[in-house]
Structure 1
Amino acid sequence: MSDLNRTVRELLEGSLPVLWVSGEISNFKRYDSGHCYFSLKDKNAQVRCVMFRNRAGLLDFQPREGMSVEIRAVVTLYEARGDYQLTVEAMRPAGLGALFEAFEKLKAKLAAEGLFDAARKQPLPTFPRAIGIVTSPKAAALRDVLTTLGRRMPALPVILYPCAVQGASAAAEIANAINKAAERKEVDTLIVCRGGGSLEDLWSFNEEVVARAIAACPIPVVSGVGHETDFTISDFVADVRAATPTAAAELASPNRAEWLARLAEQQRHLQRAFERQLQLRMQKLDNLARRLRHPGDTLTRQRERLAMLSVRLNAAPSRQLDRKVAALAQLRLRLAHASPALDTARHRLNQAASRLAVAGTRAHDQRAARLAQLRGQLQALNPNAVLSRGYALVETPKGQVIQHAAQLHAGDRIRVRFADEAVDAAVVGKPDGQQTLF
């Protein structure tokens, strides 16, 4: 008997392909193991069916007694009892075969027209000024979208374009809502959404009128219809397809917390860059300050050098005369021990003494003239002499000389030195691009 039943099973499974069978569910039972057992019948016959847990878990609807369904199954034999049965691999509500055929036909038609092309897709704005939602006011999807938008960007305005999302008139209402949003131009991102459901429940979003309304909409459209595994024509036509209504809200709205974090990070980078530049400028300013010398310091050094030269100039003739006198004394001593031609030698000595005196006087006069010339140059460099001719010296309150008007700004305190005294003043204006002092 076992061999017979095994042979019959192998014959059934090997000779018949996987079949689609339609009928009405009868005696449906789901056991704790997850396996489903039922009979599929029509008005003339019935057959036992089994759907194991791994296949039953993929169903997106709950089979129930009396429901008309279509199953994809393998014809087999349960050897233990010799019962002929169908092992079910997939199940769908009856009539979905025509819907799938219509779905594929419309999908191919719109694809051929280029409505699915990536080139015509519009990018979503990074910071939308307002977001529109096309859905039913009673839909759970609306609550999910509003909750997500409120969490991500609380201040973002949201406008609802209400419509039915299921039923005979739903497709026309959805298309009218999309067209109304395009006409009003109140938003710059549009979410078309509804929650999950069967293929029949979502069929409004597979209608051609809805697809063409989305394609013609100048506003970027995010399609968030059904669950992650659901696909509709609206998903293919829309600029962006989201797996769920919640995901659609996340794609359409910026995340306030993320942008605040990015802004804070950019602020920190900017602060560090500013501090580095400030430190560089401070170091450069210190270097320039060390190189900058006050004119008074320069005059003081020149005055000291002039005094030293004057002392050396005054002392030079005396030292030279002393050397000549010492040399003359040596000559006299040598002369006393020389030949007795004293008159001639004395005469020559007197001439040398005269020349020496003249040379000393000339050298002294030359040094005195040079000293007078240096005194005149020093007097010309004296700021007080310049000030006595009507000029003035502008300084900061700390005594630093201001050389250029660009160093001053309106409201700066300054000190103006004249020949007789100094006065305090302030910068009050800058006519024709130049600073004016009063």
Structure 2
Amino acid sequence: MVQVPTPAMTPRIWQVGALCRAVADALDARFNPVAVRGEISGFSRASSGHCYFSLKDENGQIRCAMFRRAASLLDFAPRDGELVEVRGRLGVYEPRGDLQLIVESMSRAGQGALFEQFLRLKARLEAEGLFDPARKRPLPLMPRGIGLVTSPGAAALHDVVTALRRRVPHIPVVLAPAAVQGAGAPAELVRALSSLYPLTPAGPGLAQQEAPVIDLILLVRGGGSIEDLWAFNDEQLARTIVQSPVPVISGVGHETDFTIADFCADLRAPTPTAAAELAAQPREVWLGALELLGERLGDGAQRHLDGQSQRLDLAASRLGRPSGLVARQQLRLGQQAQRLRYSVLSNLQQEKSTLQGLQADFPQKTGLALARTGERLERARLRLGLLDPRLVLQRGYAWLADAQGGAITSVRGVRPGDAVRATLADGEVDLTVTQQRLI
């Protein structure tokens, strides 16, 4: 037997939009206004000023939207992990058919469970000295190699590699891949960090390895909720970071995100890209510094050469030319010869006058003596004339001097190739020694 449907048994056929509105009306009539207590997750603020997040507990979660007017009345900055109480109206976001809570007010209700766990671990490790600023090491100015720990599929990897290629393309980068989210992520991060330590200058057997020397390590991950970043709040990871032989830069999450890894690292960067920028100075900076040092070195060398040139010029002006020295010595020799000639002639004239007087007084007695004396004086005059150096030069002789103007009196005073100046009766001749022969 076939039962014919009655009007009471036939369901109403709804349009989708109408059904969403009907559900929204039912929720509004049944629940609104509503107050909810939960932990913030995935909080974000749009450029419009509207805020979007989820409220959750151990049994479920609900999407929330807080429009700009209500958000402007907040007296604190909401962040993931905080436990809050909100008041608003429950409804349906019809374009997606999602259940959502329009939040009209929010107040703190204490810290969330994960955040409380974070604070407890932070306090314990801080008491042990893992966060002590005294143990933080300065970054190397020019690392020989950079180690990178992150997920191979993460956007952070692309951001870091792009920044390093732009700034320091000459520095090699060694990637140690690891998961950055999920239950197994902390152990993978510990293994990845540990795999880089043998490549540091303190690593065993480094000389036999083909990998580059690592002087710095970057530990990076993009932003996310407190759950997404929870792998970086692991105690074993914190202790592994502290044991690193080289400085570690932590670039996890966004600027407002803090993890235990940030406190243990030698330096915290607000983003992965910022971590790459802190890792090394741009190549242009070092090239500019090298160019400046080259200019300073060139200027210093030029100043030194100028000073030495001035000293050489001063020495040359004091020494003078050897030919000038020879000329001055010849002039002095001529003057001395002239004075000697004048003195001898004067004496001869005096003697002659004396002899003439004696001859007049004693013509008979002294005639013979005077003749002998005259002959003696004439011979003396002739010998004196022969002492004139100019007469010697006129007979074909030459006076030889070295480059410093000193007289050359022996063949042992010169060597083949030496420059020699010969002074003749009517001038000078520059010569070069080609051979020595002893007589």
Q: Give the structure-1-normalised TM-score.
A: 0.63
Q: Matched residues in 1 for 2:287 and 2:82: separation?
A: 53
Check 1:24–1:142 CA distance in 2 against 1; reply closer, same or farther (3 A cut): closer
Contact 2:150 2:180 in 1 (8 A): yes
1:169 offset after TM fit, Å?
0.7
1:166-202 superposed Cα distances (whole Å, 9 cap, x missing partner): 1111111111111111134452211001011111111
Q: Matched residues in 1 for 2:311 and 2:258: separation?
A: 66
Contact 1:37 1:51 in 2 (8 A): no
* Residue among 198, 203, 206 paired with 1:183: 198
1:284 offset after TM fit, Å?
1.7
What letter matches 1:107 in structure 2?
Answer: K
SS in 2 for 1:258: helix
Contact 2:416 2:435 in 1 (8 A): no
**Equivalent residue for 1:392?**
414
What letter matches 2:344 in structure 1?
Answer: P
In structure 2, list runs of 5 or more residues that go unmatched.
1-34, 60-65, 89-102, 201-212, 422-430
SS in 1 for 2:153: coil
Contact 1:132 1:191 in 2 (8 A): yes
**Equivalent residue for 2:106?**
88
1:52 offset after TM fit, Å?
2.7
Q: Percent identity?
A: 42
Q: Matched residues in 2 for 1:306 and 1:107: separation?
A: 103
1:201-241 superposed Cα distances (whole Å, 9 cap, x missing partner): 11110110110110112122111111111111101111111
1:12-32 superposed Cα distances (whole Å, 9 cap, x missing partner): xxxxxxxx961599xxxx999
1:278 to 2:296 alignment: no
**Equivalent residue for 1:70?**
83
**Equivalent residue for 2:166?**
151
The residue correspondences of 1:50-69 to structure 2 (distance < 5 A) are 51-53=70-72, 55=74, 58-59=77-78
Check 1:99–1:394 CA distance in 2 against 1; reply closer, same or farther (3 A cut): farther
The residue correspondences of 1:39-438 to structure 2 (distance < 5 A) are 51-53=70-72, 55=74, 58-59=77-78, 70-71=83-84, 87-89=105-107, 97-185=112-200, 186-293=213-320, 295=322, 297-322=324-349, 346=361, 365=380, 382-383=400-401, 386=408, 388-393=410-415, 399=419, 416-418=433-435
Contact 2:216 2:247 in 1 (8 A): yes
1:366 offset after TM fit, Å?
10
Q: Matched residues in 1 for 2:108 and 2:388: separation?
A: 120
Contact 1:164 1:174 in 2 (8 A): yes
User: Structure 1 residue runs of 4+, over 6 Å off?
Assistant: 30-33, 35-38, 40-43, 326-329, 357-364, 378-381
Q: Matched residues in 2 for 1:31 and 1:190: separation?
A: 34
Q: Matched residues in 2 for 1:289 and 1:164: separation?
A: 79
Q: Matched residues in 1 for 2:82 and 2:332: separation?
A: 118
Q: Matched residues in 2 for 1:235 and 1:179: separation?
A: 18
Count of matched residue pairs: 344
Contact 2:151 2:177 in 1 (8 A): yes
In structure 1, list runs of 5 or more residues that go unmatched.
1-19, 44-48, 62-67, 76-84, 333-342, 402-413, 421-438
**Equivalent residue for 2:94?**
none
Q: Matched residues in 2 for 1:37 and 1:273: separation?
A: 64
SS in 2 for 1:70: strand
* Bigger mean CA deviation after superposition, 291-300 or 115-124: 291-300
RMSD of the alignment, in Å?
A: 4.9
